[in-house]
Amino acid sequence: MEKTLEAQAFDVYTVRKDFPILHQEVNGKPLIYFDNAATSQKPQVVIDALDTYYLKNNANIHRGAHYLAAKSTEDYEETRSAIQAFLNAKNVEEIIFVRGVTEAVNLVAATWGRANIGEGDEIILSEMEHHSNIVPWQLLAEEKGAKIKVIPITDEGELILDEFEKLLSPRTKLVSIVHASNALGTVNPVKEIIKKAHQQGAVVFVDGAQASVHLEIDVQDLDCDFYAFSGHKVYAPTGIGALYGKIDLLSAMPPYHGGGEMIKEVSFEKSTYNVPPHRFEAGTPNIADGIAFKYALEYVNRFGKKNIAAYEDSLLSYATEQMQAITGLRIIGTAAQKVSVISFVVEGAHHSDIGTLLDAQGIAIRTGHHCTQPLMKRYQVPGTSRVSFAMYNTHEEVDAFVIALKKVLKMLL
């Protein structure tokens, strides 16, 4: 895998050439894609990897003795090793393929959670969590008679850590926390949270869906017990992601799905189960997207996350300054540490109307509650408009967006 230390100089106009979808018109206007927190676009190397698999190497993996099966297996497992390096996991066996963070949370809730959470135990979440990091724990709590506690946030969108410490108790069994908020952009101090949770003997799950594409991730340094991210946020295809878990935890967890690959021996009397990670990967996996996943991670490493983050931070600062000057516009989420996400509301203008009228100008943004309804309730808004930047966006696109937004608001207000 290409190393960040060898990262080439970052030039956004060179980067843009690698993303075919960007070079088109939408509604007669050049496409400006500012919906990257929902999903990123894919570089040519990822698209080519999908083509190569289906054109040359298509075969099922792990069980075949012929060339195509061996080649596909090798390519697929190379991605697992790439993810291990991307997260700095200690062992490749600690990397489980999943469809994305949603499946990862459900997997841990259904396996570790059912085995370790009991009546009266406590699960701590935060006020800014995505629904996928709320609902699986609610289902588990309802089943087991456990209790969910919630870390409150400030008006700026930062966790109130003093309140978190008050929530911790000997009954705390799990803390599940988002690394970077998809709705606010807030980067949470997860290392500090993990340390405090471990002092109470709690296990910590980190939702890295937004963080993985923007921040350097080192699961050994964080000392998290679980960490999950989705490939489609980090320039890989949809339907593929990864769950990291400490090997001792994974080894003690029961299977999630039953079927092929996750077993050692099967009889009608009794079945025995495979070791991690294969214990949690029943059936034919998403092979093509899994193989292409590696090429996306290599693409990011080609430029280096630090270089990419520095550029995205410049976009964030540039856009924030211009948007704050618009009368009636209020940014929701002004934490000191943010990834390149800006959620906003405009007094008198509905967020969906803003999104629809911007789309007519070829500008793609996200509107709604962003699967964070409790967070919207905290800010007493039905939803927000959200712009989110990636490594291929430009300052000129920000300028065009701001001009278009001002025109839209004149129409609505």
Among 259, 281, 301, residue at a domain's last position:
301
- Whether residue 32 is found in the same domain as residue 81: no
Rounded Cα–Cα distance for residues 213 and 222 (Å): 17
Contact 349, 395 (CB under 8 A): no
**In degrees, to the nearest 5, what angle opens at C-alpha 80 toward C-alphas 78 and 187?**
130
For 279-298, what is each residue's pLDDT tens digit?
999 999 999 999 999 999 99
- Whether residue 218 is found in the same domain as residue 243: yes
Show the DSSP H helices in 344-394 as ranges. Answer: 351-359, 373-379
- Whether residue 240 is found in the same domain as residue 215: yes
Residues 354-383 have a mean pLDDT of 98
**pTM over the 0.85 mark:** yes
- Whether residue 231 is found in the same domain as residue 217: yes
pLDDT confidence bin for 7, thresholds 50/70/90: low
Catalytic annotation, pick one of 371, 381, 400, 402 = 371
* Count of domains for the chain: 2
- Whether residue 221 is found in the same domain as residue 105: yes
- Whether residue 220 is found in the same domain as residue 365: no
H-run or E-run covering 12? helix 12-16
For 69-96, what is each residue's pLDDT tens digit?
999 999 999 999 999 999 999 999 999 9
Query: Which amino acid, one-letter code, is at 55?
Result: L
- Whether residue 275 is found in the same domain as residue 182: yes
- Whether residue 229 is found in the same domain as residue 107: yes
Rounded Cα–Cα distance for residues 33 and 229 (Å): 22
**Is 60 exceeded by the pLDDT of residue 4?**
no
**Is 70 exceeded by the pLDDT of residue 15?**
yes
Among 260, 282, 301, residue at a domain's last position:
301
CATH number at residue 83: 3.40.640.10
- Whether residue 310 is found in the same domain as residue 353: yes
Among 258, 277, 301, residue at a domain's last position:
301
pLDDT at 22: 98
- Whether residue 198 is found in the same domain as residue 243: yes
Contact 125, 303 (CB under 8 A): no
224 phi, psi to nearest 5 deg: -70, 155
CATH number at residue 351: 3.90.1150.10
- Whether residue 295 is found in the same domain as residue 367: no
Residue-wise DSSP of 97-163: EESSHHHHHHHHIIIIIHHH--TT-EEEEETT--GGGTHHHHHHHHHHT-EEEEE-B-TTS-B-HHH
Rounded Cα–Cα distance for residues 51 and 57 (Å): 10
- Whether residue 224 is found in the same domain as residue 343: no
**Is 70 exceeded by the pLDDT of residue 319?**
yes
pLDDT at 63: 80
**Is 60 exceeded by the pLDDT of residue 136?**
yes
Count of Cβ atoms closer than 10 Å to residue 194 Cβ: 20
User: Catalytic annotation on 224?
Assistant: no
Q: Which residues span the domain enclosing 339?
A: 4-40+304-412
